[in-house]
Structure 1
């Protein structure tokens, strides 16, 4: 063989991929293909060595520099060893324990951040991990391995959640149905409870695929099935859902209370009030203007330029969507904020799109003020990290007060306010008012019941007294709570929502209830669970009841958030995900994301 054959790998023994000393060395590849038969590369330190048919110097390198047995392959040599940096300082090899830890971290990352499992096959991810670990031989786990680890992680986390639920004195559920991109129906259920430390807990229970039609009896069976799966059938106090007819009818077949979503009711009242109102024409103009810029990239670019020219922050317009809460308010705010840039762009274009007149812009300002109150209440009641059920009646009282007509209101505003108050009152009557009254009474912020008519307060406390008499479980003295508090600015709005001061009438209340009523009310900005954590010992029977009533969410918003999360997971490229994988991924992302 001549020298050229040696250098180009003409001999079959010089083909690329041929290794020396059980894989510790391999021939150096040439940039134009083939290998250099006179050069070899150490897989441990990437050092290049001359090779002239003798391996003596190569063996010496392995023994002296790397302390490895050249008679064994690198995988056997490094098995069982700890993570080790080579003497040359250029490469390390991960042991099995570190590889398992990295595999678990990858599985947790995929589940928590809604990444597709196929990402482990991404060459870029592999290269990044090799750089991060300094192991040039590292291979990410296979899709099957990651999927198995995700299922194992789900079972571990599910066991932890199930044990916590068993310790809870009572739990509340929220539920709703959702249709995926693959046209599959899923039921999402979340759970809410106050633990022994008086912290409000909430997490997903399931996103299970459903095959049957969503009739009333079927819906009830689905919720009962989920409660049985998690072994909380005897602990469920309430179910919060939207006001769909099948949900309302299905609730009558359930052995626990039903609380309609207040946010849905409030949104419907806004929709009804805007219908056939004086605001319809100006809102139609706003939709037309926003739609024009949404469908014209050139106009949108010119608007961005005009925003900068007027010293404003570049931001897109917002289109209102009937099913998206507060989107009408967002559209109004974006149009008013960009009034002058919009006029400047439209006057330079050959278009029939017309901006609202000055008088109509004044109408929009009035409507914006009215809708701001609705947004504040919606956001306040839509939280799941703080108590919300006891805030519903004070919130209704607040809205009724701010929607009262004044002498300064024009006729079209008076009509809007009147329609809103009438519709909201009807929806309030259809809510579970009896349950909401008790929750309000057990909240030390609102136990004066100023949001309840004076004639009905005695009946509320009589009901609480009966609950105490039936209560046999004495709560232990808990530790101080650390539950999140609602937005102080919004909760403070409810402070002036009373119709009168609470009366101090004497009645035949149970002694524990009388002592609780004698306690001073706390600020509306304070956390009621922190108050209960300090006073549960002196009000043990009431404390156990409070854990049940204050855990109920005022809305089904937690399920809405769950479906938003599911939408990130079941994308167009993953519409064929099995129902088991959808459930595990959505629940894990909800559970693990809440912990970080």
Structure 2
């Protein structure tokens, strides 16, 4: 986002004058005090009206610090519209200068929902990282929490690479990358060696300690360009000691073999324009059965890494509350249904689905049927004097009529079960099918189950939406705009994310 002071620059004003000499460009003060606040209020009101029509929603939340070390709390909301579109909005990036204890964060989260008039009981789940303070906050609010898959996978991988051999080999990689990063001559020689050896003309990549994917990319690039790297380093006496040994390569290759397939899953589950929560069960099953399963040609280091990652993920996702949530999301995805639910839990999840559908229908009936219609009847009944009438033949069947109504209610429960069975027996759906498009076409056939699908399929599997708000905030609060007030940061991030 361009700083507002750009409108006061002579070059910018000259360009606008050239484009349209009749246009009078306002100054920075107009944009900062009038245009942007009005635009913010306009879009906030529009989003507020849209949220009024949402039956159920999910959220993500996380804390971050700006370049000026000012703490902020970002919250995003996710829901499925009446047209079966997954909507995502950044609600706010609020200044959070208080101590980041669980109690204070819990209060901040409640205040954030209250400011948008969102009811806590309508929140299906809150996706967060595994920070102790935010986990405690969710517990204090008695909310359902889904742990971020990206953070869990990162912690699992960090545990798997805590090996002296891996740390030594990664250290060699970092030294090699540094040797090429700060020398244009070595970069030139590397390009020449790549052409001679027929290797891809790729640059070496640096790592970032907080992003395991970048470390994996660094290792992958070093193993790919090993021959070219050796040729360049051996030609210079000062860098011959950096040539990776065969022991280093025997470590780097298994590490790359284990980690490279996992990167694609992290990227895929971080999307916010499509359903992701229902993928978690199938992904965990795929990890256990295929991707991280021990192979015949695996080295002991490879087996140890796979075992460590699987043990950690299976332990963290074996929590009963999380497991039930993922089972329900998988059940409501027409691509998976009961495929990845444990056989002994299928009947339990079906029964819970029936109960939740009944609850949704009851809530819907309560919302549509107000007490206003009953009030005039009660007043009229009170005003009319009671007249004693002769008992008619129909009066003898009143009890039978009430039992008929009761049987109809029971029939409604049976209809829910029949509809759920029909949905589960429907034609198999291709794995590339968009589940929301499928539900849009088939909600007429399964209207009750569709209500439950709209409730659960909006949950994001990661906190990537909140982290994208962090990135937007980082692009706004730059070193040249470090004096921005927190309210201005909130407005600018809101507009940048939601426009």
2:19 to 132, 141, 149: 132
- 1:212-223 to structure 2, matched below 5 A, reads 212-223=98-109
1:435 and 2:325 correspond: yes
For the residue of structure 2 that corresponds to 1:372, the secondary structure is helix
Q: Report the equivalent of 1:391.
A: 279
Distance in 2 separating the partners of 1:210 and 1:297: 44
TM-score, structure 2 normalization: 0.84
How many residue pairs get aligned? The number is: 445
Query: RMSD of the TM alignment (CA)?
Result: 2.2
CA distance in 1 between partners of 2:420 and 2:471 (Å): 42
Q: 2:63 aligns with which of 158, 172, 177?
A: 177
User: Is 1:520 aligned with 2:427?
Assistant: yes
Q: TM-score, normalized by length of structure 1?
A: 0.71
User: Any stretches of 5+ residues in structure 1 without a counterpart?
Assistant: 1-113, 476-506
> Quick check: 1:121–1:140 contact (8 Å CA) kept in 2?
no
Secondary structure in 2 matching 1:572: coil
Instruction: State how far apart, in whole Å, the 2-side matches of 1:298 and 1:407 are.
Output: 43
Q: Tell me by how many angstroms 1:363 deviates.
A: 4.1
Structure scoring higher RCO (CA < 8 A, sep ≥ 6) equals 2
> Residue deviations 1:537-590, cap 9 Å, x none?
232222111111000000101111110111111001111101111011111011
Map of 2:268 onto structure 1: 380
Whole-angstrom distance in 2 between the partners of 1:407 and 1:389 = 33
1:143-292 aligned within 5 A: 143-147=28-32, 148-234=34-120, 235-276=122-163, 278-292=165-179
CA contact (8 A) 2:126 2:145 kept: yes
Pick aligned residue for 2:461 from 547, 554, 558: 554
Preserved contact between residue 92 and residue 494 of structure 2 (Cα < 8 Å):
yes
Indicate conservation of the 8 Å contact 1:168/1:193, yes or no.
yes
2:293 aligns to what? 404
1:366 aligns with 2:244: no
**Secondary structure in 2 matching 1:175:** strand
Higher radius of gyration, 1 or 2: 1
Q: Relative to total residues, which structure has the larger helix share, 1 or 2?
A: 2
In the alignment, which of 135, 142, 147 is matched to residue 27 of structure 2?
142
Deviations 1:395-441 (A, max 9, x none): 11111122111222222211111122111211222472211111111
Residue deviations 1:155-206 (CA, integer Å, cap 9, x gap): 1111111111111111111010010111100011111100000000102111
Q: Do structure 1's residue 355 and structure 2's residue 240 form an aligned pair?
A: no
Counterpart in 1 of 2:403? Answer: none
The residue aligned with 1:115 is 2
How many angstroms apart in 2 are the aligned matches of 1:237 and 1:456?
A: 21
8 Å Cα contact 2:157/2:212 also seen in 1: no
Give the structure 2 partner of residue 422 of structure 1: 311
Q: Residue by residue, what CA displacement relative to the aligned partner does 1:329-350 show, whole Å, maximum 9, x if unpaired?
A: 1101221232233222211221
> Residues 530 and 474 (structure 1 numbering): CA distance in 2 closer, same or farther, change over 3 Å?
farther
